[in-house]
Copies of this chain bind each other. A is one copy, B any other.
């Protein structure tokens, strides 16, 4: 029996991935060494790296123009690495401001060139996705955060534009069908739908690189990582191995199309409960609700801690809202089973019946 782990990231991983990983920490496929002890230049690791990169390409159905990189540093490093590679003083970048993470991305980008914030949902406390805005044709790129973990909002429609679109997909990659070729650069910290903390996935179109003249430090240069096949320096071997196992698991579930159906079922179930249970209230504009992070509050604030304590007693973990928003946040990443969501919904009903 495990805890019902609704953490926002690092977060739940599939049980079978954990069992395989646990064995590999002792002995990787009978090679006599741990996954933590093998050389990153070994054939064993090259196969792991290649399977991971190929799975990303297959699952996202990426064009040939894309390169798939598995890098150090988390999405926070991409906040600087994207403008380091793509932005200079000659033309601005357009950014959508939908919360803490996009604000951080904007702040880092300003160090490398002009940034135009073309839309923001700040005035509504980031409880929705901006609708009416335009992206200047002369923008280097347009940056969005596809899912906003802290507020529970998600882009469901993307603007038509000829400007290359850069997306931070840290918290919803591999969770829903999208035309991923709409984007020119996709990045995602591993620690939600992919693996443990300590790795970032970057899928970048080669055609958008090499347009600025800045000299880049090697570790920041996408070209360097492309030329070295993601082996410019010692990569985060274990995080890549877990990602390989998670993507293998995802394929066994039927890929993104199949997991999207389950993700819809899970989030529908929880939103229905929030909307029908008199104790609770959703905090996000309905059309912008995230299927990965469900944010809500309890109408009577005096009951907030009581509900948290009650859940703790039921082995429900990780539902406390972000420290900047309060309330509750329930994360429903790919590995979260429907059973756990059903259990949470029953617990909400039971709690309401006791308080009703």
A: which residues have CB within 8 A of B? 1-3, 5, 7-13, 18-19, 21-23, 25-27, 31-34, 36-40, 72-77, 79-80, 84, 104, 107-108, 111, 189, 191, 195-199, 215, 217-220, 232-239, 242, 315, 317-318
On chain B, the residues within 8 Å of A40 by CB distance are: 10, 197
Q: Main SS of the interface on chain A?
A: loop
Alpha-carbon distance between A318 and B37 when the two chains are bound, in angstroms: 10
A-B CB contact pairs (8 Å), 8 listed? A10-B37, A12-B37, A22-B25, A72-B74, A74-B234, A76-B218, A108-B219, A111-B215
Given contacts A8-B39, A198-B236, 10 further A-B contacts (CB under 8 A): A2-B32, A10-B38, A10-B234, A13-B34, A18-B34, A40-B197, A72-B72, A72-B73, A84-B217, A236-B239
Q: How many monomers of this chain does the complex have?
A: 2
Closest to A214 in B: B111
Interface contact A198-B238, CB-CB below 8 Å = yes
Closest to A335 in B: B37
Interface contact A238-B237, CB-CB below 8 Å = no
Indicate whether A5 sits within 8 Å of B37 (C-beta atoms), given known contacts A74-B72, A77-B73, A111-B215: yes
On chain B, the residues within 8 Å of A198 by CB distance are: 72, 198-199, 235-239
| Shortest Cβ gap from A274 to chain B (Å) | 23
Alpha-carbon distance between A116 and B77 when the two chains are bound, in angstroms: 29
Interface contact B19-A26, CB-CB below 8 Å = yes
